[in-house]
Amino acid sequence: MSLLLDEIALATARLAEAGVPSPRTDAEEIAAFVHGVRRSELHTVKDADFDALFWEGVARREAREPLQHITGHAYFRYLELAVGPGVFVPRPETEVMTGWAIERLREMDVNAPLVVDLGTGSGAIALSIAQEVALAEVHAVEVDPAAYTWAKRNITELGQGRTHLHPEDLAEALPELDGKVDLVISNPPYIPPGAIPRDPEVRDYDPARALYGSSDDGLAEVRAVERTARRLLRPGGWVAVEHADQQGRAVYLTFPEDNGWRDVRLRQDLTRRDRFVTARLGQD
């Protein structure tokens, strides 16, 4: 066994003792990042090339700093995004909602669908849709200056020319697109202010503005998404909004038939927990 693989084994034990959920994977990701190889190529690193900076990264992860902050990137669907302090690290749960949106857009009888991502953060949702849906024009909205900077970097580096970034509040965004949009999607802040996340990676590192809703129930921004989507969508257009697993019924009721919504559905994430609501704007 090579020196690096021995060190990874030791690091795995340290990370497991620190309560890191995926210690082996994280140790390998740090090793691959430090040595400039893929995880599948770790066995090719020669003993003489072992870099002690590996242990600096392990110590940071042991202190529960997010892996993505250590490596500087996060994976989301088919993308590798730049992330770091000041921006929400995208989660696998959001990939499920994004996949649903991509499927709806592909089914639409629209040549160049118009999409709005409200509260884009790193740009993960917007860039995935632009990459995977042919001819889609995606408008990403982000009011927070730090997150906006990360989104701009990702849009620039990933070269999605059909993704347009706007420094606007999601409650007032893009009035010039009223009644024209085919799909609105959002992963807004929704955690109630008093419900502090247990995971240190979330609690201590994700920006509060991306986590906590501005009302006691955490759903003020979800209600703002409903109003904005109702304004932006064309008749027959779709909306998808993420929420916490225990908020499903409350978010479902945020899209009432009296406001023109049809086909309102609670949908589940990879763990079969309620995770996002979808609805279609009626055509009558």
Annotated ligand binding at 167? The verdict is: no
Nearest Cα residue to 144 out of 175, 181, 118: 118
| Sign of torsion over alpha carbons 93, 95, 100, 105 | positive
Annotated ligand binding at 119? The verdict is: yes
Annotated ligand binding at 95? The verdict is: no
Asked if 277 and 240 touch (Cβ cutoff 8 Å), the reply is yes
Annotated ligand binding at 159? The verdict is: no
Annotated ligand binding at 57? The verdict is: no
In sequence order, which residues have a C-beta less than 8 Å from that of residue 48 and are 6 or more positions away?
none
Annotated ligand binding at 218? The verdict is: no
Kindly report the three-state secondary structure assignment for every residue of the chain.
CCHHHHHHHHHHHHHHHCCCCCHHHHHHHHHHHHHCCCHHHHHHCCHHHCCCHHHHHHHHHHCCCCHHHHHCEEEECCEEEECCCCCCCCCHHHHHHHHHHHHHHHHCCCCCCEEEEECCCCCHHHHHHHHHCCCCEEEEECCCHHHHHHHHHHHHHHCCCCEEEECCCCCCCCHHHCCCEEEEEECCCCECCCCCCCCHHHHCCCCHHHHECCCCCCCHHHHHHHHHHHHHEEEEEEEEEECCHHHHHHHHCCCCHHHCEEEEEEEECCCCCEEEEEEEECCC
Annotated ligand binding at 236? The verdict is: no
Annotated ligand binding at 179? The verdict is: no
Enumerate the known binding-site residues for substrate: 187-190
Enumerate the known binding-site residues: 119-123, 142, 187-190
Enumerate the known binding-site residues for S-adenosyl-L-methionine: 119-123, 142, 187
